[in-house]
Amino acid sequence: MKKVKQNTETGRTYGGESAADRLARQRRQFMDAGLELFGTIGYRATTVRMLCKQAGLIDRYFYKTFHDTEDLLVEVYTEAVDQIKDKVILAIAEAADLGNPELQINAGLDAFFTAYENARVARVCWLEVLGVSPRIDALYTSRIQDFGDLLLLQGKAIKPSWSLPEEETRITGIALVGAIIQSAMQWLLDDYRSPRAALVNANSRLIRSLLESGQ
Amino acid sequence: MKKVKQNTETGRTYGGESAADRLARQRRQFMDAGLELFGTIGYRATTVRMLCKQAGLIDRYFYKTFHDTEDLLVEVYTEAVDQIKDKVILAIAEAADLGNPELQINAGLDAFFTAYENARVARVCWLEVLGVSPRIDALYTSRIQDFGDLLLLQGKAIKPSWSLPEEETRITGIALVGAIIQSAMQWLLDDYRSPRAALVNANSRLIRSLLESGQ
DNA sequence: TACTTCTGATGGCGCTTGTCGTCAAATAGT
DNA sequence: ACTATTTGACGACAAGCGCCATCAGAAGTA
């Protein structure tokens, strides 16, 4: 009955790293490997062996941090979406100083499309997470909803008089997010052929026209 | 060296069916099985064995008609999308008699959302086809583009003076399709909780506001 | 009736997968 | 120096996969 513990707390240092540091580094290596593989060959084609080879680690350390490849997908997706949401919020906030609502919308959209010029991130966020499991479906819908709410909030901020029928508000926010995502998705699948400004302008016009009409 | 031919032409009748009839029936059985399984447990979880069990046939007949499960997915997806596109076009054409552009838009949207109240179809068209292979990605983008063009054409028909910068026209069409799809997707993943009319109205407003503003 | 074609059932082949165990070498604590 | 922990390399295992071959019986054909 030997203790086989290798907890974060009981573990000793190795290679100049504490147990916690090693765990964190391994996690990061697997996250990077996940983004790389999920974003290129795709989630369903990615195996544990491949992830380990890409990360330069062995499977024991994968199972120590993640339960599944699905588990890893959840974390890679969440990290990517959260980072992009932060960038968009930051861009909108910075543009607020200009006092021009249109420039604010454009700044947010530009930050969004710029972030998704990383094809791996784009592929994971839009092509790979869909239809994997009910758990991930729920995660996806919640993130889309978040973005929709952000858009609605921004719309209200720009034009306080703007209002829609109760039941259609949420749907409209989601629809706007869908417009942005779909154009970005086609952009990705078309090897980013159009200039980013065209994407920004087309979606900006769509949002502005809705804000102007619905008074 | 026996001839093992069982071509459509050389085959004889069996069970009261000609060789061509049998092939067509088997194909239909596999198409139905494909929609059922792809639309419930998902494409990546579906195996040839399952499809055969669901279709009530054995694998020999699967390989006679399809090369892959991916092959079957392509055909199931194409059939579904084509049928829905036909329904939408028909609904728009029928509403043309009323002479009211708004009613025409609503009729098309209502036909669209009605068709996608079939969760299996919706799941195949939006959650399962994405990120499977470059071949299917290309098929998907082309169908989205088709729908976008249909929308732009309809917009021009309703308001001939409507025009956008060259490069942003296609993108705008895709964005509108994205708005419709995303709201429908969230509808699906939310177990169709909202009334269909809310979806129709929210998207109709979005389209009309764009038509009105862009003059 | 004899012969050929078609069908469903069954099992097997080679391969890949997730997962676990073993073992020698490297490192750290005492 | 001695012991315990950590590491990477390697192999093994059952399970499931696509795919193919075989075989008895049903259904047509002559």
A121 with A200, same domain?
A: yes
pLDDT at position B97 is 85
215 residues of chain A, pLDDT tens digit each: 333 334 455 689 999 999 999 999 999 999 999 999 999 999 999 999 999 999 999 999 999 999 999 999 999 999 999 999 999 999 999 998 888 888 999 999 999 999 999 999 999 999 999 999 999 999 999 999 999 999 999 999 889 999 999 999 999 999 999 999 999 999 999 999 999 999 999 999 999 999 998 64
Distance CA A44, CA A50 (A): 12
Nearest one of B125, B136, B129 to B85, comparing CA atoms = B125
Question: Residue B173 is inside which H or E element, if any?
Answer: helix B166-189
Give A186 or B10, the one with higher predicted confidence.
Answer: A186
| pLDDT at position B99 | 82
Q: Tokens for A139, please give them.
A: 């995660």
Contact present, B91 and A87 (Cβ < 8 Å): no
Does A2 fall in a domain?
Answer: no
A128 touches chain B (CB under 8 A): yes
pLDDT at site B48: 98
Single residue among A7, A40, A66 that ends a domain in this structure: A66
- Give residue A204's Cα distance to chain centre: 21
Residue A14 has φ and ψ, to the nearest 5°, of -155, 130
CB crowding B28-43: b at 16 or more within 10 Å, else e: ebbbebbbbbbbeebb
Measured distance CA(A82)–CA(A79) in Å, rounded: 5
pLDDT at B41: 97
For residues B196 and B95, membership in a common domain is answered with yes
Mean pLDDT, chain B, whole residue set: 93
Residues 190-209 of B with CB under 8 A from A: 190, 194-195, 198-199, 201-203, 205-206, 208-209
CA–C1' distance A20–D8 (Å)?
20
Burial grade of A89 (CB within 10 A; 0-12, 13-18, 19 or more): middle
The secondary element (H helix, E strand) that includes residue A83 is helix A69-95
Closest to B154 measured CA to CA, from B202, B123, B198, B112: B112
Whether B23 is in a domain gets the answer yes
Q: Which of B46, B112, B159, B171 to mutate: most A Cβ within 10 Å?
A: B171
What is the identity of the amino acid at B65? T
Same domain, B183 and B200: yes
Does residue A151 contact residue A207 with C-beta atoms inside 8 Å? yes
Domain that holds residue A59: 19-66
Nearest to A209 among B145, B165, B213 (CB): B213
pLDDT in the model for residue A184: 98
Establish if B61 belongs to a structural domain. yes
Whether residue A61 is found in the same domain as residue A126: no
Chain B positions touching A167 (Cβ under 8 A) are 194-195, 198
| Structural tokens at position A73 | 């997908």
Measured between CA atoms, the residue of chain B closest to residue A136 is B189
State whether A50 and A154 are in the same domain.
no
State residue B3's pLDDT score: 35
Asked if A88 and A191 sit in the same domain, the reply is: yes
B171 touches chain A (CB under 8 A): yes
Alpha-carbon distances, residue A70 vs A62, A140, A167, B61 (angstroms):
12, 13, 34, 34
Domain tally, chain A:
2
The answer to whether residue A10 sits within a structural domain is no
**Amino acid (one-letter) located at A76:** V
Same-domain pairing of A161 and A206: yes
User: Which residues contact residue A132 at a Cβ distance below 8 angstroms, ignoring those fewer than 6 apart?
Assistant: A43, A70, A73, B42, B44
Task: List the single range of B7-16, B44-53, B82-91 with lowest mean pLDDT.
Answer: B7-16
Sign of the dihedral defined by the CA atoms of residues A159, A161, A166, A172, in that order: negative
User: Between chains, do B171 and A194 touch, taking CB under 8 Å as contact?
Assistant: yes
Other CB atoms closer than 10 Å to residue B114's CB: what's the count?
15
**Looking at B15-140, which runs of residues are DSSP E strands?**
none
Q: For position B21, what pLDDT does the model report?
A: 96
Shared domain check, A95 and A166: yes
Integer-rounded Cα radius of gyration of chain B: 21
The overall longest dimension of chain B from CA atoms, in Å, is: 74
Query: Are A183 and B206 a contacting pair at CB < 8 A?
Result: no
pLDDT at residue A99, as a whole number: 81
Is the domain of B143 the same as that of B50?
Answer: no
**B contact test, residue of A126, A135, A171 with most B CBs within 10 A:** A171
User: pLDDT at position B9, please?
Assistant: 57
Distance measured from the CA of protein residue B45 to the C1' of nucleotide C17, in angstroms:
14
